[in-house]
A = this chain, B = another copy of it.
Amino acid sequence: MLGFASNATIDVLAQLGVLILLFQVGLESTVRDMVKVGLPSVTVAVLGVVTPFALGWSVGALLMPEHSRYAHAFLGATLTATSVGITARVLGDLGKSRSAEARVILGAAVVDDVLGLVILAIVGGTIRAADLGQRMAFGAVAGILVKAVVFLGGALTLGVVVSPRMFWLASRLRGRGVLLATALVFCFALSYLASAIGLAPIVGAYAAGLILEDVHWRDFTERGEHQLEELIEPVATLLVPVFFVLMGLRVELAAFARPDILGLAAALTLAAVLGKQACSLGAFGGLDRLSVGIGMIPRGEVGLIFAGIGLTLTLGGERIVDPGVFSAVVIMVIVTTMATPPLLKWSLSRGSRGESSGESARR
């Protein structure tokens, strides 16, 4: 089994799988959605990124004093990203997809994804710079922040102009698979660009997904072709599981018997849950704060992706995320993802506060 964990073929497919996964996550929302996001979503997202980051960093500093502060910062970064797919499904099952809480959570998730990717860029970039002997200077951090913001800002503003024209041009080409091929080229091109300027390729894949919108390929769907989401799904079915299996292979089962790792996992899980409860402070305007906070708990795939990137970063020969820490992060991801549905059902069913607050918040 160890052979598989370092097999080049598996690695290539898993890396492609992560790009496709983030592209899919991005496709679920549009730049327009992001611009229209309400103030409650923004405050929820910002608090829900800053607090877990600080808490995760503190957990690292307290429980892993032997690791560098870069490793502590990275641990904080893995706690920032929310993966609200599971929350969206629970809300849908309970018929609350259109409640005010749902809109705030889903809006916050978009902002959260972007902020998480920016933090990953800063922490990852700083670690890479430090590994080359540069100090964690304010200037370097600011430089990476500027790069990430310029990349995302530039990609999103240029993208919404370029994308409709690109698909219009592509729609002149008859033949099978043109829509999917064009979209994949766009996704891989932005991933490459992100990687070329020193950001994680997933930043580009996510930006590509955000930019693309159904209306851009109306020329294709009007002549009876499938929607892009339907076309990307089979590609994801092939590639995405390879990523999850690879992450699973990299977990050391022995770690589950080590008290220090289990303790770290418990502390991380607590930091993740409490950190996202800080979100509720941002959910003003009569919203069901507890439900918003619980809805933001799951870390899911994005936490795994961050941890997987950490496995590949080194600082002076020391791995930023070692297999033990990685296993603790995986436990945290599993617990937060599995605990959310029952917690959310419980919090939404306390009286019928969900509905009434939903009404009052619809201003």
Q: Given the complex of chains A and B, what is the CA–CA distance between A189 and B155 in angstroms?
A: 42
A360 within 8 A of B: no
A160 within 8 A of B: no
In the complex, chain B residues whose CB is within 8 Å of the CB of A161:
none
A234 within 8 A of B: yes
Q: Across the interface, do A234 and B12 meet the contact criterion of CB distance under 8 Å?
A: no
Given A8-B8, A12-B12, A12-B13, also A235-B233 (CB < 8 A)? no
Q: Which of A141-149, A165-173, A177-185 contacts B (4 or more CB under 8 A)?
A: A177-185
Given A184-B238, A238-B184, also A177-B13 (CB < 8 A)? no
A343 within 8 A of B: no
Contact with B along A226-239 (1 / 0, CB 8 A): 10001111111110
Q: Interface size on A (CB < 8 Å)?
A: 20
A201-244 contacts to B, CB under 8 A, are 226, 230-238, 241
Q: Could you tell me the distance in whole angstroms from the C-beta of A149 to the nearest C-beta in chain B?
A: 30
Q: Across the interface, do B12 and A237 meet the contact criterion of CB distance under 8 Å?
A: no
Q: Which of A9, A177, A238 has the most CB of B within 10 A?
A: A238
Q: Could you tell me the distance in whole angstroms from the C-beta of A182 to the nearest C-beta in chain B?
A: 10
In the complex, chain B residues whose CB is within 8 Å of the CB of A12:
8-9, 12-13
Q: Which of A177, A234, A237 has the most CB of B within 10 A?
A: A234
Given A184-B238, A238-B184, also A233-B9 (CB < 8 A)? no
Q: Given the complex of chains A and B, what is the CA–CA distance between A241 and B177 in angstroms?
A: 11
A174 within 8 A of B: no
In the complex, chain B residues whose CB is within 8 Å of the CB of A237:
176-177, 180-181, 184, 231
Q: Given the complex of chains A and B, what is the CA–CA distance between A214 and B180 in angstroms?
A: 24
In the complex, chain B residues whose CB is within 8 Å of the CB of A235:
234-235, 238
With both beta carbons as reference points, the residue of chain B lying nearest to A236 in the complex is identified as: B177
In the complex, chain B residues whose CB is within 8 Å of the CB of A184:
237-238
With both beta carbons as reference points, the residue of chain B lying nearest to A230 in the complex is identified as: B226
Pairs across A and B, CB under 8 Å, 27 listed: A8-B8, A8-B12, A9-B12, A12-B12, A12-B13, A176-B233, A176-B237, A177-B233, A177-B234, A177-B236, A177-B237, A180-B234, A180-B237, A180-B238, A181-B237, A181-B241, A184-B237, A184-B238, A226-B230, A231-B234, A231-B237, A232-B234, A233-B234, A234-B234, A234-B235, A235-B235, A235-B238
Using A12-B12, A12-B13, A184-B238 as known contacts, list a sample of 6 further A-B pairs with CB atoms less than 8 Å apart, ordered by residue number in A. A9-B12, A176-B233, A180-B237, A181-B241, A234-B235, A235-B235
The residues of A with any CB-CB pair to B shorter than 8 Å are 8-9, 12-13, 176-177, 180-181, 184, 226, 230-238, 241
The 10 A-B residue pairs with the shortest CB-CB distance, nearest first, are A177-B237, A231-B234, A234-B234, A9-B12, A180-B237, A12-B12, A180-B234, A234-B235, A235-B238, A8-B8
